[in-house]
């Protein structure tokens, strides 16, 4: 596709359930990022994939959060045993992997944990 796509666009779940969020980056982009955004706030870095290198997981808030990127393309962010404080918009971005590059963002997945 022409841009970064994310699915689902909205997700409502119950506390304690696991959720999986998907990101399809721009074709050919080697770098992929996950961020979390609370309502009207800035973005909180979660995890960064660059090519075949080990991912930078320094932003993951707890061991309930994990992410993988299969085949250097699609990425899945998994949140286990969701808590109400996990409610937020989860944004994915991709870039060509060069330094000081534009990050292209998807529309986000709005997660609500009841």
Partner 1 sequence: TQLLEQSPQFLSIQEGENLTVYCNSSSVFSSLQWYRQEPGEGPVLLVTVVTGGEVKKLKRLTFQFGDARKDSSLHITAAQPGDTGLYLCAGGKAGGGNKLTFGTGTQLKVEL
Q: Which of 28, 45, 66, 114 binds partner 1 (CB under 8 A)?
A: 45
**Which candidate, 9, 12, 34, places its Cα nearest to that of 82?**
12
According to the binding rule CB under 8 A, does residue 62 interact with partner 1?
A: no
One of 27, 42, 52, 85 touching partner 1 (CB under 8 A): 42
Structural contact between residues 32 and 92, judged by C-beta atoms closer than 8 angstroms: yes
Shortest CB 64 distance to partner 1, Å = 20
Nearest to 21 by CA among 30, 31, 32, 29: 32
Q: Compare residues 5 and 80 and give the one whose CB is closer to partner 1.
A: 5
């Amino acid at each position: 596709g022409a841009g970064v796509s994310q699915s689902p666009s909205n997700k409502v779940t119950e506390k304690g359930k696991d959720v999986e969020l998907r990101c399809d980056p721009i074709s050919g982009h080697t770098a992929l990022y996950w961020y979390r955004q609370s309502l009207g706030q800035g973005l909180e870095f979660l995890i960064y994939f660059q090519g075949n290198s080990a991912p930078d997981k320094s932003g993951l808030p707890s061991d309930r959060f994990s992410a993988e990127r299969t085949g250097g393309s699609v990425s899945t962010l998994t949140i286990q045993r969701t808590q109400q404080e996990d409610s937020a918009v989860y944004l994915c971005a991709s870039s060509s992997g060069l330094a000081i590059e534009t990050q292209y963002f998807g529309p986000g997945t709005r997660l609500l944990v009841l």
